[in-house]
Amino acid sequence: MADIPTAPPPGGPLPADTAPPMVAFEQVSKVYAATGSQAAFTALDDINYSVPRGTITGIIGRSGAGKSTLIRLVNGLEKPTGGRVLVDGTDVAAQSESALRTLRRSVGMIFQHFNLLSSRTVFDNVAMPLEIAGQSPAEIKARVAPLLDLVGLGDKAGRYPAELSGGQKQRVGIARALATSPKLLLSDEATSALDPETTLQILDLLKTINHDLGLTVLLITHEMDVIKAVTSHVAVLDQGRVAESGRTFDVFMSPQHATTRVLLSSMPGSGLPDAIQRRLKPTPAAGDNVLVRLVFFGKTANQPLTARMASTLEADVNIIAGAIDEIGGEPCGTLVVAYPADPAVMERAAQFYQQTGLRAEVLGYGA
């Protein structure tokens, strides 16, 4: 396979915590003016957020939170009402039409519904941005062929979109987004139209592109599973504001905002069975148990702590629910346990958590 020309920083991408951000939102607001019977609407309100260079960063939120508006500001399809959006240090809204066209060649875009031209072959769909840029047929062939190999479609160059599966169409979309050698790849709900197995394959491809090409990926989605599987950093939008942000692992393991907790509650292993949840009380009565959610991560993830816990507490410890997972490549797990809500037992438990580094959250009390 021919080499794919790319332009990462010498020696590979700089560490995300020392490199200047690939995208920076500085006090960004976007207000849509009133039209007819439609009142004015604030889509984004004082957004301050940076996308670390070389990362896969996710933007998540409910419908109407402002995710799509945010991504349209990055590629200049919308202009902010206030503030600045910087891509690799360049103020997007301040560019002339000519400069904006040049900037957009450094920003690839993949879409939820593929946006392929049905009358063009796979090869020609990928070649289209290069044709628009005025490259010669020889230059186009030298670029497109290795890209099709990269996305696993080297044998489909002469096929038409109607002959492809949904996953294959999205691979064509990714290859087309990479055609102009961008430094930033925008993904707008790119897996929403795909089945779970195909979604995982596309996410694996995005991770490969990020790692091998040193490409920064900004991913917009409403799917927490997608954020968990592929991103290293995440920002949660709520009513046009950044509710919280940080490393995906940290946000998932210790959500600080109510919106984040609601979004996470839909994931497997995050909640309790309804029958137990309904019986929980905020304060204990005589003979009650305390229900506690334990979070295992870092050095605690691979230690047999539950076996030691019953011995340390000198009480029965019942396992109510649990799940093992991986977030951003880091192992973690949750376990809901119940033990007597006796003051002496609870004191020993608190000391055990402090000594071992386990994160514990009291969920309530019940018989």
| Same fold for the pair 23-106+181-265 and 274-366 | no
Kindly report the CATH number that applies to the domain delimited by 23-106+181-265.
Answer: 3.40.50.300
pLDDT value at residue 301: 60
pLDDT value at residue 5: 39
pLDDT value at residue 252: 86
User: Going by C-beta distance under 8 Å and a sequence separation of 6 or more, which residues neighbour residue 175?
Assistant: 126, 144, 147, 148, 150, 151, 153
Q: What is the per-residue pLDDT across 25-60, written as a single tens digit (0 to 9) for each?
A: 999 999 999 887 888 899 999 999 999 999 999 999
pLDDT value at residue 308: 86
Using CA atoms of 124, 130, 132, 136 in order, give the dihedral in degrees to the nearest 10. -90
**Apex CA 211: angle with CA 209 and CA 217, to 5°?**
60
pLDDT value at residue 14: 45
CATH superfamily of 274-366: ACT domain (3.30.70.260)
- Give the total residue count for the chain: 367
pLDDT value at residue 2: 42
Type of residue found at 125: N
Domain residue spans in the chain? 23-106+181-265, 274-366
pLDDT value at residue 262: 84
CA distances from 344 to 288, 289, 293, 347 (A): 14, 13, 19, 5
DSSP 125-176: HHHHHHHHTT--HHHHHHHHHHHHHHTT-GGGTT--GGGS-HHHHHHHHHHH
Low-confidence ranges of the chain (pLDDT < 70): 1-18, 266-271, 298-303
pLDDT value at residue 9: 38
Q: What is the per-residue pLDDT across 242-300, written as a single tens digit (0 to 9) for each?
A: 999 999 988 988 888 988 888 887 665 556 777 788 889 999 999 999 999 888 776 66
CB-CB contact of 219 with 57 (8 Å): yes
